[in-house]
Amino acid sequence: MGRIVLDKVKKSFGEVTVIPPLDLEINDGEFVVFVGPSGCGKSTLLRLIAGLEDVSDGVIQIDGKDATDVPPAKRGLAMVFQSYALYPHMTVRKNIAFPLRMAGLDQAEQNKRVEQAAAVLNLTDYLERRPGQLSGGQRQRVAIGRAIVREPAAFLFDEPLSNLDAALRVGMRLEISELHKRLKTTMIYVTHDQVEAMTMADKIVVLQAGVIEQVGSPLELYSRPRNTFVAGFIGSPKMNLIGGAEAQKHNAQTIGIRPEHIEISTTEGMWKGTVGVSEHLGSDTFFHVQTPISEEPLTVRATGEMSLGYGADVYLTPRPEFLHRFDAQGLRIE
Amino acid sequence: MATKHSRSAARLMMAPAVILLLGWMLVPLTMTLYFSFKRYLPLRGDSLENGLQWVGLENYARFIGSSAFWPSVQATLVIVGGVLLITVVFGIFLAILLDQPFWGQGIVRLLVIAPFFVMPTVSALVWKNMFMDPVNGILAHLWRFFGAEPVSWLSDASVQSIILIVSWQWLPFATLILLTAIQSLDSEQLEAAEMDGAPPVKRFWFIILPHLSRAITIVVLIQTIFLLSIFAEIFVTTGGAFGTRTLTYLIFQRVVDSQNIGLGSAGGVYAIILANIVAIFLMRIVGSNLDR
Ligand SMILES: Nc1ncnc2c1ncn2[C@@H]1O[C@H](COP(=O)(O)OP(=O)(O)OP(=O)(O)O)[C@@H](O)[C@H]1O
Ligand SMILES: [Mg+2]
């Protein structure tokens, strides 16, 4: 149930190749997140898996069977769209029951399953409403409800939370994670929000221009990014990437150090710098420090509250065990 | 338009338009009502200056009592209903076709809209002489080519012919409105339905058709208003013969052919009543459809 294998899958729109041949294995029950900058082909990849786009080349296997030419409805996958794509003229009950109705289940069975799903998603009180009378979060849950009643082999989510406000997003994030723990069904989740990626995923797939840059668990990606792109993409705030003479000292083209792995001191340290903007979050304070070793200011995290005036002199010391080194191709040096 | 002040300002600004429209509507209406209670036969010397004879409800009784009345109501409803059915069904069909990407889309769309720009008189004449003429018409040639006896359309299938001509004129309108409605359908909804296991026919039935319901009611409403008063198409083709005498045409005959203005006015009042009955029906449907 729910093992998906992509073998040299390629997608072109006319002349433009959006996804060059790509291999990927998604194991049963895994929560896989596709992340990458806008336009890198995340949605396209998801739609290829769903069957909403035809592959230009390659093979998609679902549970060991070749599904490349299988129509979307027969792949046993359920998708939650960014716009939710609810049917506006149907009540919540009818929306959730729609896939069951299409599958020809009898009315009693439909009702049973809809009510089960509604109970899981806290939608019981809203079953007779239309989507237009629901809040964004409720609509989102209806869309998820419509997906879970089918008991699919895998769920596909395309940026399902991007239309919600920040607080609701955190709540829904937890709900989806919880749903995954309970159902233990494969989930593929597209997002460009890397906090979502880090918190929800068993496995993150980092994409750039249709190419997989790295696949791994969130902590693997965090602690051992395979190249400078992944290093800069994963982690918030971004890793500091430093080139030039300072990198040469470490026998690398580029070195990277995360903001949380730099000690900041007003008295002594390796790099001298001046404080620019500081961002106070309460739990942490982020300083943007201009140093002679790089053009870009370095971002430094201090835990808790710490006050340094604009233009103050500080000293920075990277913790050597957390220093990442990259070669001229941008690849990691162990 | 929230505050009291802005509301009254709005009323003031709209007043001239409302008064003009009201006058526009009320003057002919009152005159029709006035004439309908009078004996007014200009050929017999009746005229407004000499004063018209009050005849009470006699005109109404005569109009409805004439053997031509009920058939004309029936003809009106058959023609309006037939045209609505054809334009809506084919309009949906064409709209779906035109929504597909294909080569030469722009030109085809223009061609589909073209009939709407042809004047009713002209299009009726074109149909009458070029298509439906039993001797020289294209259809007659076609029939003969297949060895069949040409049909004299306008006498043997007169109502159907009128419906055909009027439908041809109104199809572009329906298609256009329905096309814009189809284009406003979120494609993700169709994709969601596809993933939910709905084959194309069910996607049409459960997603596209409900989405179009508003546009369809609007097409029906607007077309009905115009179709109740079609005239030129009948005038230049059958001249009201062979069962194509609609209420509008009957009134025209009473006023112009028999020069009986009182009787015609009474017919006009009946036409207003008929139009209102239809309008109330439609408003009910539209109302429940537009509320959502
Ligand atoms: N139907 C199409 N025809 C041509 N090009 C397309 C089509 N769909 C997508 N593309 C192109 O493919 C690329 C990837 O698009 P895709 O929608 O997969 O990006 P994405 O990673 O989902 O981005 P976002 O985060 O903004 O949603 C883009 O450059 C886009 O312009
Ligand atoms: Mg996308």
> Cβ–Cβ of B188/A77 closer than 8 Å?
no
Kindly state whether B156 is in contact with chain A, defined as any CB-CB distance less than 8 angstroms.
Answer: no
Same domain, A29 and A57: yes
Same domain, A164 and A209: yes
DSSP string covering A216-278: E-HHHHHHS-SBHHHHHHSSSSPPEEE-HHHHHHTTSSEEEE-GGGEEEESS--SEEEEEEEE
The residue whose C-alpha atom lies closest to atom 16 belonging to ligand 1 is A41
Q: Could you read off the pLDDT of A42-100 as tens digits, one per residue?
A: 999 999 999 999 999 999 999 888 989 999 988 989 999 988 899 999 999 999 999 99
Kindly state whether A87 is in contact with chain B, defined as any CB-CB distance less than 8 angstroms.
Answer: yes
How many angstroms is it from B284 CA to the middle of ligand 2? 43
> Cβ–Cβ of B191/A52 closer than 8 Å?
yes
Q: Is the dihedral of CA A247, A248, A251, A252 positive or negative?
A: positive
- pLDDT at position A334, please? 81
- Dist. CA A287–CA B137, nearest whole Å: 87
Residue-range definition of the domain harbouring residue A259: 238-333
- pLDDT at position B190, please? 92
What are the tokens at B219? 């097409």
Question: How many degrees, rounded to 5, is the angle at CA A172 between CA A113 and CA A177?
Answer: 75
* Residue among A71, A81, A89 minimizing CB distance to B192: A81
CATH code: domain of residue A71: 3.40.50.300
Nearest residue in A to B213, CA atom: A89
Contacts of A159 in chain B (CB under 8 A): none
- Dist. CA A206–CA A24, nearest whole Å: 12
b or e along B49-68 (b: 16 or more beta carbons within 10 Å of the residue's beta carbon)? eeebeebeebbbebbeeeeb
Residues with Cβ within 8 Å of B180's Cβ and at least 6 positions away in sequence, in order, are B215
Contact in structure between B241 and B203 (CB atoms under 8 Å) = no
- pLDDT at position B289, please? 65
Same domain, A291 and A209: no
Count CB atoms within 10 A of the CB of residue B241: 12
Average pLDDT over residues A232-242: 90
Nearest ligand 1 atom, CA A41? 18
A214 lines ligand 1 (CB under 6 A): no
How close does chain B come to A96, measured CA to CA in Å?
10
CATH code: domain of residue A280: 2.40.50.140
Q: Could you read off the pLDDT of A163-183 as tens digits, one per residue?
A: 888 888 888 889 899 989 988
Give the domain-ending residue among A174, A203, A230. A230
Contacts of A150 in chain B (CB under 8 A): 196
Burial classification of residue B171, based on how many CB atoms lie within 10 Å of its CB (0-12 exposed, 13-18 middle, 19 or more buried):
buried
- Dist. CA B119–CA A88, nearest whole Å: 40
Same domain, A137 and A247: no
| CA-to-CA dists, residue A319 to A112, A256, A257, A316, B39, angstroms | 58, 11, 8, 10, 110
List alpha helices for A38-165, DSSP H.
Answer: 42-50, 92-102, 107-120, 136-148
- CB-side neighbour CA atoms (13 Å) of A14: 1
How many angstroms is it from A187 CA to the middle of ligand 1? 21
- pLDDT at position B95, please? 93
Same domain, A187 and A46: yes
Q: Could you read off the pLDDT of A14-40 as tens digits, one per residue?
A: 899 999 999 999 999 999 999 998 889
* Residue among B189, B195, B202 minimizing CB distance to A87: B189
Question: Which residues in chain B come in under a pLDDT of 50?
Answer: none
Q: Could you read off the pLDDT of A125-144 as tens digits, one per residue?
A: 999 999 988 988 899 889 99
**Nearest bound ligand to CA A13?**
1
How close does chain B come to A94, measured CA to CA in Å?
11
What are the tokens at A126? 């809203």
> Cβ–Cβ of A85/B188 closer than 8 Å?
yes
Contacts of B207 in chain A (CB under 8 A): 87
DSSP string covering A157-211: EESTTTTS-HHHHHHHHHHHHHHHHHH--EEEEE-S-HHHHHHH-SEEEEEETTE
Phi/psi at A64 (5° precision)? 80, -10
Torsion of CA A216, A218, A223, A226, to 10 degrees: 30
Count CB atoms within 10 A of the CB of residue B100: 7
Phi/psi at A318 (5° precision)? -75, 145
Kindly state whether A155 is in contact with chain B, defined as any CB-CB distance less than 8 angstroms.
Answer: no
Mutate to test the interface with B, among A74, A77, A79 (most CBs of B within 10 A): A79
Give the domain-ending residue among A230, A254, A269. A230
Task: Indicate the pTM of the whole model.
Answer: 0.80
A49 lines ligand 1 (CB under 6 A): no
Same domain, A83 and A222: yes
Same domain, A178 and A32: yes
List alpha helices for A51-131, DSSP H.
Answer: 92-102, 107-120
Same domain, A221 and A275: no
> Cβ–Cβ of A79/B195 closer than 8 Å?
yes
Contact in structure between A205 and A33 (CB atoms under 8 Å) = yes
Give the domain-ending residue among A174, A200, A230. A230
- pLDDT at position B92, please? 95
Mutate to test the interface with A, among B187, B194, B195, B292 (most CBs of A within 10 A): B195
- Give the max Cα distance, chain B: 78
Same domain, A38 and A135: yes
Query: What is this model's ipTM?
Result: 0.82
**Chain mean position to CA A220:** 15
Q: Is the dihedral of CA A243, A248, A252, A256 positive or negative?
A: negative
How many angstroms is it from A169 CA to the middle of ligand 2? 17
Any idea which residue has 């054809």 for tokens?
A: B86
Contacts of A90 in chain B (CB under 8 A): 210
Same domain, A219 and A285: no
* Residue among A79, A103, A132 minimizing CB distance to B192: A79
Q: Is the dihedral of CA B247, B252, B253, B254 positive or negative?
A: positive
* Residue among A52, A72, A83 minimizing CB distance to B186: A83
Residues with Cβ within 8 Å of B181's Cβ and at least 6 positions away in sequence, in order, are B95, B211, B212, B214, B215
- pLDDT at position B20, please? 93
- pLDDT at position B167, please? 94
> Cβ–Cβ of A73/B197 closer than 8 Å?
yes
- Dist. CA A208–CA A241, nearest whole Å: 18
How close does chain B come to A24, measured CA to CA in Å?
22
How many angstroms is it from A46 CA to the middle of ligand 2? 9
Nearest to A327 by CA among A233, A242, A255: A255
Same domain, A245 and A213: no
Domain total of chain A: 2
> Cβ–Cβ of A85/B206 closer than 8 Å?
no
Any idea which residue has 């002209």 for tokens?
A: B122
Nearest ligand 1 atom, CA A190? 22
Same domain, A257 and A178: no
Kindly state whether A89 is in contact with chain B, defined as any CB-CB distance less than 8 angstroms.
Answer: yes
Nearest ligand 1 atom, CA A13? 4
* Residue among A83, A130, A132 minimizing CB distance to B188: A83
- pLDDT at position B290, please? 59
What are the tokens at A302? 């201090």
Contacts of A79 in chain B (CB under 8 A): 191-192, 195
